[in-house]
């Protein structure tokens, strides 16, 4: 009888405890705090939606904020609104991230960056069969290639600054559609999945420079861009994306900033996003031994939940086709 008790005790307490201690020692990269106050935060797509909300938060926390987007009047409006809300002056640059020379010029003029937020993004959902190649290329160019342009241009300045200014950050705005492929999002999901490969490899390359990568995965978020998207979103895209609750731009910005400050690599924004992050953790870096513990302990059951979601989604697709 005592044996049974002991094996129950060792299984339910000692094994997890051992695992927790093991994870505490092996998680890499090590935890870090990225300062925001007095740092230079450069946000692309900062004139609208999530980027604008994040710019407000950073300015309120005492950062020197620079915004980059194309439309000059939207940039000016953003500058005014942040000045009004926080009393802080914001620097703005008009450039298209697809134009490397223009990006480089803006970044040089803006001065060395501590926190680079690659948030610009375009999303035009449509079935691949009907979507024009031009639109597909447009999403890849802005979302993926544009992010390469930004990082390539910003990195030399960011590296130089670290010894005096402490840890720096490169944050990249992905999407939950960058964790799971979704009907209507072949090009968009591909552009966002691409960012994950970029982010994982980049973290290896710049950890020694004390620069920390965060990849942010929002669900549907109420923004001007989302209002436009909704005008042409296929019904099935709506149905499947509704598996994750919608958020407000301010809430996503708050989660993003918390993720950046803690140097978190995978940054989910809501509960479904938390499940998705555990379900797709794979070989991504993990700084938190507690999150690593949750990932190891729940891997099987979260996979099962994922299979149930796919069962549900394929059911919706089948039903939709029958109705046509």
Ligand X SMILES: NC(=O)C1=CN([C@@H]2O[C@H](COP(=O)(O)OP(=O)(O)OC[C@H]3O[C@@H](n4cnc5c(N)ncnc54)[C@H](OP(=O)(O)O)[C@@H]3O)[C@@H](O)[C@H]2O)C=CC1
Residues annotated as catalytic (active site), given as ranges: 174, 188, 192
Does the footprint of ligand VSD cover residue 306 (CB under 6 A)? yes
Q: Residue 88 burial by CB count (10 A; 0-12/13-18/19+): exposed, middle or buried?
A: middle
Residue 272 binding partner per list ligand VSD, ligand X, none, with a CB distance cut-off of 5 to 8 Å that depends on partner kind: ligand VSD
Q: How large is the angle between the packed helices 249-261 and 49-60, nearest 10 degrees? A: 60
Does the footprint of ligand VSD cover residue 219 (CB under 6 A)? yes
Residue 45 binding partner per list ligand X, ligand VSD, none, with a CB distance cut-off of 5 to 8 Å that depends on partner kind: ligand X
Closer to ligand X by Cβ: residue 263 or 273: 273
Among the listed residues 12, 71, 80, 230, the single contact to ligand X using CB under 6 A: 71
- Of the candidates 29, 50, 45, 58, the one whose C-alpha atom is nearest the C-alpha of residue 212 is 29
- Torsion of Cα atoms, 241 then 244 then 249 then 251, to 10°: -170
Q: 155 to 184, contacts with ligand X by CB under 6 A?
A: 173, 175
**Backbone dihedral angles phi then psi of residue 18, each to the nearest 5 degrees:** -60, -45
Among the listed residues 43, 212, 220, 268, the single contact to ligand VSD using CB under 6 A: 220
Residues in a beta bridge with 67: 43, 92
Site residue total, ligand VSD (CB under 6 A): 21
- Of the candidates 38, 53, 30, the one whose C-alpha atom is nearest the C-alpha of residue 265 is 30
Q: How far is the CB of 313 from ligand VSD (least distance, A)?
A: 9
Among the listed residues 66, 119, 126, 264, the single contact to ligand X using CB under 6 A: 119
Q: How far is the CB of 214 from ligand X (least distance, A)?
A: 13
Other CB atoms within a 10 A radius of the CB of residue 19 amount to: 15
Closer to ligand VSD by Cβ: residue 91 or 145: 145
The set of residues, in sequence order, having a beta carbon less than 8 Å from that of 14 and lying 6+ positions away, is none
Q: How far is the CB of 269 from ligand VSD (least distance, A)?
A: 11
Does the footprint of ligand X cover residue 276 (CB under 6 A)? no
Does the footprint of ligand VSD cover residue 176 (CB under 6 A)? yes
């Amino acid at each position: 009888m005592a044996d049974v008790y002991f094996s129950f005790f060792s299984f339910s307490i000692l094994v997890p405890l051992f695992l927790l201690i093991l994870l505490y020692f092996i998680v890499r990269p090590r935890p870090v705090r990225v300062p925001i106050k007095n740092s230079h935060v450069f946000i692309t797509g900062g004139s609208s939606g999530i980027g604008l909300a994040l710019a407000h938060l950073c300015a309120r926390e005492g950062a020197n904020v620079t915004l980059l987007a194309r439309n000059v009047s939207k940039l000016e409006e953003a500058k005014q609104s942040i000045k009004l809300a926080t009393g802080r002056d914001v620097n703005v640059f008009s450039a298209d991230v697809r134009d490397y020379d223009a990006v480089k010029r803006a970044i040089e003029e803006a001065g060395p960056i501590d926190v680079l937020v690659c948030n610009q993004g375009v999303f035009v959902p449509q079935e691949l069969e009907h979507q024009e190649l031009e639109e597909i290329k447009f999403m890849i160019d802005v979302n993926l290639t544009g992010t390469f342009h930004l990082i390539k241009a910003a990195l030399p300045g960011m590296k130089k600054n670290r010894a005096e200014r402490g840890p720096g950050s490169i944050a990249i705005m992905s999407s939950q559609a960058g964790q799971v492929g979704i009907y209507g999002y072949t090009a968009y999901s591909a552009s966002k999945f691409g960012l994950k490969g970029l982010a994982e490899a980049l973290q290896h390359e710049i950890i020694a420079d004390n620069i920390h990568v965060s990849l942010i995965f929002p669900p549907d978020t109420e923004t001007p861009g989302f209002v436009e998207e909704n005008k042409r979103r296929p019904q099935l895209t709506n149905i499947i994306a509704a598996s994750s609750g919608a958020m407000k731009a301010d809430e996503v910005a708050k989660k993003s900033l918390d993720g950046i400050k803690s140097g978190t690599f995978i940054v989910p924004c809501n509960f479904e996003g938390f499940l998705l992050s555990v379900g797709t953790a794979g070989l991504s870096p993990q700084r938190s031994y507690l999150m690593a513990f949750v990932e190891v302990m729940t891997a099987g059951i979260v996979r099962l939940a994922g299979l149930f979601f796919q069962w549900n989604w394929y059911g919706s697709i089948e039903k939709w086709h029958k109705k046509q």
